[in-house]
Amino acid sequence: MNTTAAIWLEAARPKTLWAAISPVILGIAIAASYDVLHIPSALLALTGAILIQIGTNFHNDVADFEKGADREDRLGPRRLVAAGLISRRAMRLATVAVFMLAIASGVYLMIRGGLPIVIIGFSSILFGLAYTGGRYSLAYLGIADLFVLAFFGPIAVAGTFYVQALYWPSTAWLAGLSPGLLCVCILLVNNIRDVEQDIESGKKTLIVRFGRSFGEALYLVFVIVGCVLPVFLWEARLAPVWVLLSILALPLCLQSWKRLRSIPVEDGAKLNPVLGETARNLLIHSLLFSLGWIIGW
């Protein structure tokens, strides 16, 4: 139903929000295990992460349309500006409004955490704008994967820990690699699906540059490293044994990888369920990883 509320909810792309939520949950769980849990800061960090992701999704919707990346032959979920359901002006205003809300939700955190949180907060917004916006956008240059790894991984986890404890141990940075790597896998599936359209629109993703086989291999490496990393943290005595629960997500990740490989390039639209599975795997892994920290507390 194309009601106003439903249209804007679709534009927010709720399924992508797990990428923003998962590392924050992990950062909260690690803080709890260190006995530095600060609930107001944790909730505000979660709110800010969700708002920044929504603002980024709004901005991507209008920026990709203006760059000609969203056409009638789009294989992924529809974009609302391209579909004519939201005007460019309205989407731009919504983008600004959501990012302003994100800044407002982070005022207390910036006061509490000081310069490190100011830098993380504003650089996260700038990354969201630069993802598809501007002449040299990250996605079009093919370097967005690196920023996704950093901002949805170590920076998000360690930043969430920092606003509670006001310091950040190396453990939080290392643990953050797990959700970061799995978040990149979501982007890899997206770019494998859209490779033909990206070539035509001049979007030089890693898949455009190095091919689908490279993307599939990278997906496999990242899910294995992401899911097995807790083992190394435990062996190094940086995490409790219960974090090994997160390995239970590995079979699901490998199943999604096999499905990714089985779908031919001409059936790109069939990769949308794999995209959803990859986001699901990220959430399951992060919840199990977080549960392990809390049980070990």
DSSP for 51-85, written as a single string: HHHHHHHHHHHHHHHHTT---TT--SSPPTTTTTS
In this model, does residue 72 exceed pLDDT 80?
Answer: no
pLDDT band of residue 70 (cuts 50, 70, 90) is low
| Average pLDDT value over all residues in the chain | 90
Burial classification of residue 272, based on how many CB atoms lie within 10 Å of its CB (0-12 exposed, 13-18 middle, 19 or more buried): middle
What is the residue whose two structure tokens read 């967005």?
Answer: 144
Asked if the model's pLDDT at residue 1 lies above 60, the reply is no
DSSP 78: P
The residue among 3 and 93 whose pLDDT is bigger is: 93
Two structure tokens written together for 169: 């141990």
What is the C-alpha separation between 148 and 267, in angstroms, rounded?
26
The least confident of 32-36, 111-115, 134-138, 158-162 is 134-138
Of 33, 213, 64, 30, residue with least CA distance to 133? 64
pLDDT digits (tens, 9 = 90+) for 217-272: 999 999 999 999 999 999 999 999 999 999 999 999 999 999 999 998 777 778 88
- The boundaries of the domain holding residue 8 are 4-296
* Torsion of the alpha carbons at 282, 283, 288 and 293, rounded to the nearest 10: 90
Domain total of the chain: 1
Q: Cα–Cα–Cα angle for 95, 100, 38, nearest 5°?
A: 125
Compute φ and ψ for 74, nearest 5 degrees: -55, 135
Q: Which residue, among 156, 124, 131, 2, has the nearest Cα to 62 in the 3D structure?
A: 131
Q: pLDDT digits over 14-50, tens only?
A: 888 999 999 999 999 999 999 999 999 999 999 999 9
The backbone torsions φ and ψ at residue 82, rounded to the nearest 5 degrees and listed phi first, read: -60, -35
Between 85 and 120, residue with greater pLDDT: 120
Q: What is the CATH number of the domain that holds 86?
A: 1.10.600
Is residue 76 pLDDT above 90, yes or no? no
Taking residues 58-65, what's their average pLDDT? 85
What percent of the chain is modeled with pLDDT above 90?
66
DSSP annotation of 166: S
Percent of the chain with pLDDT over 70: 95
